[in-house]
Amino acid sequence: MSDLAKAIVTVTDLVKRFGDNAAVDGVSFDILEGEVFGLLGPNGAGKTTAISMISCLLAPTSGEVIVDGASVTRDPRKVKCALGVVPQEIALYPTLTALENLRFWGRMYGLGGRLLEERVAEALETAGLADRARERIETYSGGMKRRINIAAGIMHHPRVLLMDEPTVGIDPQSRNHILETVKELNRRGMTVLYTSHYMEEVEFLCDRVGIIDHGKVIALGAIDELRRLVGDENVISVHLSELPAGVLDALRALPEVDSVTATAPADAAEADEEGAKPEVDETVMVQVLSKDSGTVIADVVSVLGRAGARILSVDVREPNLESVFLHLTGKSLRD
């Protein structure tokens, strides 16, 4: 992408208050034409509220959003034509087939006749579900529903696609399909705003990222620029069978250690679409940030050993977006 790429979405000092709570609290960023822009932040950070204002579903308390030259407050019809929206909640009729749902959404976007049928077929192809098109949505898995939800958002060939946490709580196969679909749509020229609390997805997909927490963008830039915010710190991840009491404080007391957090391994804590919890995983990932990469590992392992923790694996890495978030906020993305 050239440095001269122009902004297709401009968000300026955007605010949304619910009573005393500022869900979005003075957010500004640009999305450049042709890029995948990530909005990365934990649950409750304000991602859905921001997307709702960009897509004209929610009126801003103050601030402005311009999409393809049109203002969300003064010209919402033009904004809606330029946008495709894949909401966090599934927006499909369960008793209708996938084909019927897509025809419905296509008509909502003003498509009809042969063009509608072409676009429905194309969207089903993109979703990888052409062979299941005549089955009712209620028979679909959570991941398949999400793929149809994405298909519904792209039938009118929007210039910008807004995707709000499209992979939460679904099977790995559908997740991979969705990530590849985003890449493919972007290769074909679509600009994408992708929100997530999974740093791995954002690192895989995005050109530039805004990190959002408590309604504010706390860092903004290309992924390499953000990594540099952490400086020369290493991330030591230790997978433990369980977390002995007091062990985090003991790690924090080590002189070479800058910060420590503990989280459940990715996804284990999250229920899937049908509300079924994946098999119970009591293991814990402990992340330690340290400038030292020599003696600190031995010290960390020895503290954990003395506390009686069973270590399943140890991994040392360069900073990633998770460590950037940890560095800026002192907490983990999945807290």
Ligand X SMILES: Nc1ncnc2c1ncn2[C@@H]1O[C@H](COP(=O)(O)OP(=O)(O)O)[C@@H](O)[C@H]1O
CA distance 289 to 293: 10
Given a contact cutoff of 8 angstroms between Cβ atoms, the answer to whether 147 and 127 are in contact is yes
The residue (of 47 and 147) whose beta carbon lies closer to Mg ion is 47
Please give the size of the binding site for Mg ion, defined by CB under 5 A: 3
The residue (of 48 and 320) whose beta carbon lies closer to Mg ion is 48
84 binds, among Mg ion, ligand X, none (CB under 5 to 8 A by kind): none
80 binds, among Mg ion, ligand X, none (CB under 5 to 8 A by kind): none
Cα end-to-end distance, the chain, whole Å: 35
Question: Does residue 48 touch Mg ion according to CB under 5 A?
Answer: yes
CA distance 230 to 321: 9
The residue (of 54 and 247) whose beta carbon lies closer to ligand X is 54
The residue (of 85 and 235) whose beta carbon lies closer to Mg ion is 85
Strand ranges in the chain using DSSP code E only, listed in sequence order: 7-18, 21-32, 36-40, 62-67, 70-71, 83-86, 160-164, 191-196, 208-213, 216-222, 234-240, 257-263, 284-290, 311-317
The residue (of 88 and 141) whose beta carbon lies closer to Mg ion is 88
Least distance in Å: CB of 111 to ligand X? 30
Question: Does residue 167 touch Mg ion according to CB under 5 A?
Answer: no
Q: Which stretches of the chain bind ligand X, using CB under 6 A?
A: 18, 21, 23, 41, 43-49
Pick from 164, 143, 141, 169: nearest CA to 268: 169
93 binds, among Mg ion, ligand X, none (CB under 5 to 8 A by kind): none
Subset of 76-105 contacting Mg ion (CB under 5 A): 88
The residue (of 80 and 197) whose beta carbon lies closer to ligand X is 197
Least distance in Å: CB of 41 to ligand X? 5
Pick from 282, 312, 36, 43: nearest CA to 169: 43
45 binds, among ligand X, Mg ion, none (CB under 5 to 8 A by kind): ligand X
Tokens of 250: 């003991």
Least distance in Å: CB of 247 to ligand X? 30
| Per-position DSSP letters for 100-121, written without gaps between them | HHHHHHHHHTT--HHHHHHHHH
Which residues are near Mg ion by CB under 5 A? Answer: 47-48, 88
